[in-house]
Every structure is written in structure tokens, then in C-alpha cells.
Copies of this chain bind each other. A is one copy, B any other.
Amino acid sequence: MRKPISTEQLLLHVQNMIPLLAQLNEEDWGMIVPLLKVVKLKKGTYFIKDGQVCHQIGFLYQGILRVFHLVNGKEFSSYFNFASRNPIVSAFESFLLQSPSSENIHALEDSVVITITFAQLQSLYEQSPRIQKLGRLMAEQNYLLAMERIKSLQFHSATDRYSALLKIYPQLINKIPHHYVASYLGVTPESLSRIRKSFE
């Protein structure tokens, strides 16, 4: 967090994280780079709160973010962003529709996000067919992720979901407060505790 981030570092990182970006050429990057901003989030602060319109989409460079909904006073964790996994940061519904977000995104650790605004991205779509195509591929990717989530929620038990989570991301349970994981799995912290015990 201390050292300033060089543009080269940043680009390299973003390109590595997101294979889709390999499709872009030098000219495309020349248009994109001047528009990028680096946003630092202290632990506990928010990228966006519900009710606000999400004007930025971002790539997580460092840290962990949690996305959650507030429904009838209860928090529901929707997913987590890690730099090493699932790095695309936005309240995507709000971003697409430019309408107030129902999602909250807050930093579980000090984090760094590289952002671009909605207006800038729309303008890039019109300027470059490759970036337009990238927009389609990003949306398709997001759709596929959402489908995974639906299948997990509809077809499998909380125990199965926990087991799957352990497989694809063994360290996660040690990095994130358990009650957030519980609400992600769709159970109470007490139930997660029981599930974990049954795995010993």
C-alpha cells in the first residue's frame, strides 16, 4: 500500500488477471490507460453503499472486498472479490442500469481498486469494436458466474456448498470472518459451525 503503483505494473496486473483483455491492441490500451484511476479503500470503508448509483467499474489490485445486500435489516453476503480471484469490482446491476444500487461493497482489508467510469466505458465501446466485443464477453462471463451461483443455491445443500467452497478456495475460511461465509452459503453462523464440525 505504501509504494505508488506504476502504470506498467498496473497494466501488467490487469492483463494477467483478466485473460479477455488479451484481445485488445496497443491502440485500445492507448485510449484506456489515461482514463484509469487508482482508488484506495481502508479496511471497513465502502466502494459503494446501497442507494447510490455505481458510476465506476473496477479491477481489484490488492485486498479483499465483500458484496452484500441488506434485506429487512438482515445482511446477505453475495460474493467476495479477491485480487487473485474474481477481481472485477462493481455493483454490476446498478452499473449497467445506472440506477440506485441494492448492493453494498465494503473492504474487509485495506484494498486498491483500478477504476473506469460508466460514461468513459460507453464512449470506448463506441470508439472501438474490440472494446465493444470485450463488453459483451465481460457480460457473458458475469452471466456464467451468476449461473454457477444459481445452480449452487438451487441444486445443492448448504453442506455441499461449503464443501465446494473448501475445494475451490481452501484458504478462504481463514481469511474471512465466518459469519460472512455463513451468510454467503445461506445459513446462520450457528449452522455453519455445525457443518464445519461435521467435516472434522
Tell me which of B136, B144, B146 contacts A136 (CB under 8 A).
Answer: B136
Q: Smallest CB–CB gap between A152 and chain B, Å?
A: 9
User: In the complex, which range does the number of interface residues on chain A fall in?
Assistant: 20 to 34
Q: Smallest CB–CB gap between A60 and chain B, Å?
A: 19
A residues near B (Cβ < 8 Å) are 69, 71, 76, 78, 92-93, 96-97, 102, 125, 129, 132-133, 135-136, 139-140, 142-144, 146-147, 149-151, 153-156, 186
Instruction: Report the copy number of this chain in the oligomer.
Output: 2
Chain B residue numbers with a CB within 8 Å of A143 are: 92, 96, 139, 142-143, 146
Smallest Cβ-Cβ distance to A102: which chain B residue: B151
Tell me which of B78, B133, B140, B144 contacts A150 (CB under 8 A).
Answer: B78
Chain B residue numbers with a CB within 8 Å of A76 are: 154-155
